[in-house]
Amino acid sequence: MAGPGQTGRSGRPTLAVVGATGAVGTVMLQILSQRADIWGEIRLVASPRSAGRKLAVRGEETEVLALTEEVFDGVDVALFDVPDEIAERWAPLAVAKGAVVVDNSGTFRMAPDVPLVVPEVNPHAVRMRPRGIVANPSCTTLSMIVALGALHAEFGLRELVASSYQAVSGAGRAGVATLREQLALVAGTELGTSPGDVRRAVGDRTGPFPEPVALNVVPWAGSAREDGWSSQELKVRDETRKILCLPGLPVAVTCVRVPVITTHSLTVHARFEGE
């Protein structure tokens, strides 16, 4: 596969996947392999410690490149699947090199000059990107917004109450590793039958969660924010308002972490005009 600065597949845009070795990046490579006829060159980019690894994409073994400014030379679109602080630093540099950035972090979602786009709901918004960056919502918002957007277009949404039951993969590889470690600890024991016994057995090995997730549900996801809300709950509220262009929409959200590896679930109670 061509390296930076070389011509990719004729007539097709060059794509950079930044964070290719992460949890989301791994899924992205699977999707790209299912749609192999869209892109020309695909550059896989990650931290210097992952540089040189080989990953499969479109049936080809492709070497991972270290994240540098030069890696964006000639790139048309850069997909960022990295922590917020990495996106904040590197996305503008990719734009300066001429790329359109599609960012999966929370860094730019609520910036007024960055569109928050879900193609099935507001595809027109992608054309207005003064900073050269397009954001996409969190996975919890994304799980409901396509259906909610269609209903809003037809009936006019006026109030939303939602609860999310979020898999540990929402906390990345660390979340998945924590659940697997805790499941191994409790397997074959009587833990989970007495109040606090799992907590005592796990000790401080809770990973990115405030409490054990094995044999448990944790009524908290994210970090503390104003008025007693968690960051995950405010994400769902604020992202829904922005995508649907309803800045004053009354929204109440409760986010709960559940002991499954992947797939979030939600309950959604929506009220529409005329109800």
User: Consecutive 10-residue runs of the chain (275 residues): their mean pLDDT?
Assistant: 44 94 87 86 94 91 95 97 95 97 96 96 95 95 96 97 94 92 94 94 94 94 90 95 97 96 94 85
Tell me what pLDDT residue 6 has: 43
Indicate the pairing of strand 157-166 with strand 60-66. Answer: unpaired
d(CA 211, CA 178): 11
The answer to whether 266 and 162 are in contact (CB under 8 A) is yes
* Cα distances (angstroms) measured from residue 76 to each of 136, 152, 190, 244: 18, 34, 56, 28
Tell me what pLDDT residue 219 has: 92
Q: Active-site positions?
A: 139, 264
Q: What is the CA radius of gyration of the chain?
A: 21
Strand order in the sheet with 100-103: 54-57, 60-66, 42-46, 15-18, 77-80, 100-103, 133-135
Structural domains of the chain, with CATH: 15-136 (3.40.50.720), 141-272 (3.30.360.10)
Backbone phi, psi, residue 226, to 5°: -65, 150
The answer to whether 32 and 57 are in contact (CB under 8 A) is yes
